[in-house]
Amino acid sequence: MERLFYLLSFLQVVTGLYLVWHALLWLNYVRKRLQTDPGFYSPQVAVICPCKGNEPGLERNLVSLTEFERQNYEIFFVLASDKDPARNIVDRVAKSSKVKCNLIIAGNPIQSGEKVNNLRVAIEQLPPEFEVIAFCDSDGRPGRSWLHHLVAPLADSGIGATTTMRWFIPTRTNFPTAMLAAWNAPVVTMLGEKGRNFCWGGGTSILRTTLEQSGVMEDWKRSVSDDYSLTRALERVGKPIVFIPECLTPSYIDTNFDGLLDFTNRQILITRVYAERIWRAALLTHSLYCLTLLVGLALILSDFVAQRPVFHLMTLAMLPVLLSAIRGAIRLHGVTEAMPSVRAQFGGQGWIYVLLPSIVPFLYLANFINSLVTRTIRWRGVTYELLGPDQIRIVGR
C-alpha cells in the first residue's frame, strides 16, 4: 500500500506542477488580453437573455444589460410563459431602460430544454438587421464594457464565436455557498489562448451568419444544452472559439446543500452527455487526487497508531494540496485583474478560491458517481431525462 501511495503521490506532484505551469500561461493570456484595444467594430447586436422565475438579484442583473457602453444593440428578454414571475421585473426594467428592450414569449418546448427553446424562438423572430447575437444569463451581472469587448473580435469573420465564463461571488459564506464558488472556479482556467475552448451560454457572441451556417438551430430542437450544442456545431464547421477573460461575469450566489448538489450534479451530467471527452478526463484527474489523499490518510493513521514516523507521509500527502492552493491563488489573481470593479467585493473571501479547491475534487467525485447512475436532471422547475446529445424527454414540470 505504501508503494501505491508513493506512485500516486509522484503522479499528483507531476500533474500539479503541470497545472501550475498551465495556470501561469493562463494568467499571462489574461494580462495580454487586458492590454488589447478592442477597436471600433460596432455592428447591430441582439442581446438575448432568457429569464425564468424571480431569482435573487434579478432586477439588478437585468438592469446591467441596459448599461453597456459603446455598442449598437437591443435587448431581447425571453420567457416561456407570460405568467412567469419574472415578467413584472422584465417589464419594469424595459420601461426604465434607455436601450430598446423587447419581450418574447417562446411557449413550452416539446423535445428540447426550456432555455434552448427560448433561444431558438427568439433567434427565429429577430429582424434581419442584427448582424451579431450575444447570449447572456439572467443570473449574471456583466460590466459596462462587457458587450463591446465580447463582440469586438468578431470583426474577424474567421472566428466562430467569442465566449467568457461566470465567477461565483458568495453573498454569504455558509459552507454550501462557499463550496459552490470553489467548485466553479477551476472551470475558468479550462479556457485559454490555445486548446479546445467551449462556449458558455451566459456569455457568448457569434455572427448571425456563422450561427446559421453551423446548424445549431436544428440541434437545439432536441437538446437541453445551449452552450455544448453550439460548441459541437462550431467544431463541425471548423470554427474556433476565442476566450475573452476581460468579460468574466460576476454571479452572486447564496445556496444550501440541496442547491449545491442540484447545480453541480446537473453540470456534470450534462457534460457527460454532451462532452464525454472532458467528462472522462475530469473523472480520471479527480479520482486519482481523491485516491491519493485517502490512501495517504490511511497510511498516516496506521503508522501513527503503530508509533512509526509519519512526517514523510504527511509531506507527500500535503504536496498535492499545496499545489492546488498555488493554482487557486494564481487563478484568483487573474480574476481580480480581469474584474477590477468587483475586486473589493471579494473582501475576505480569498480563502474560498485558494483553500477550498483542495477538497472540491471529493464533491466532483460525488457528481461523477451521480452521473453514472442517473440520466435525470431538474432545471428551473422542469425535470428532463437526457437520453443522448440529440434526444431528451421532459419528465415533469
Listed residues 243, 274, 305: the one ending a domain = 274
**DSSP one-letter string for 152-192:** GGGGSTT--EEE--EEEEESS--HHHHHHHHHHHHHHTT--
Cα→Cα distances 143→98, 251, 368, Å: 17, 11, 34
Digit-coded pLDDT (tens) for 352-372 = 999 999 999 999 999 999 999
pLDDT at 192: 94
- Number of other CB atoms surrounding residue 194 within 10 Å: 8
Q: In the structure, what pLDDT confidence band is assigned to residue 346 with cuts at 50, 70 and 90?
A: confident
The dihedrals phi and psi of 291, each to the nearest 5 degrees, come to -60, -40
All three cell numbers of 238, joined, read 471548423
Place of cell 473523472: 283
pLDDT (mean) for 230-246? 96
Q: Is residue 161 part of a domain?
A: yes
pLDDT at 27: 97
Task: Show the domain range for 101.
Answer: 36-274
Q: Do 95 and 238 lie in a common domain?
A: yes
pLDDT at 147: 97
Q: In the structure, what pLDDT confidence band is assigned to residue 308 with cuts at 50, 70 and 90?
A: confident
Digit-coded pLDDT (tens) for 132-169 = 999 999 999 999 999 999 999 999 999 999 999 999 99
pLDDT at 243: 98
Place of cell 477551476: 186
Q: In the structure, what pLDDT confidence band is assigned to residue 271 with cuts at 50, 70 and 90?
A: very high
Q: Over 80: is that where the pLDDT of 345 sits?
A: no
Query: Which residue from 80, 64, 37 is spatially nearest to 202, judged by alpha carbons?
Result: 64
323 and 17 Cβ atoms separated by less than 8 Å? yes
Q: Over 80: is that where the pLDDT of 278 sits?
A: yes
Q: Which helix (H) or strand (E) holds 218?
A: helix 216-219
Residues 375-386 as b/e (b if ≥16 CB within 10 A, e otherwise) read bebebeebebeb
- In the chain, the amino acid numbered 117 is N
Q: Do 298 and 267 lie in a common domain?
A: no
Total tally of structural domains belonging to the chain: 2
Q: In the structure, what pLDDT confidence band is assigned to residue 381 with cuts at 50, 70 and 90?
A: confident
Task: For residue 225, give the CATH number of its domain.
Answer: 3.90.550.10
pLDDT at 25: 96
- Mean pLDDT, the chain, rounded, equals 94
pLDDT at 152: 96
Listed residues 220, 253, 274: the one ending a domain = 274
The dihedrals phi and psi of 13, each to the nearest 5 degrees, come to -65, -45
Listed residues 274, 303, 337: the one ending a domain = 274
All three cell numbers of 167, joined, read 465567477
Place of cell 456583466: 142
Q: Do 270 and 378 lie in a common domain?
A: no
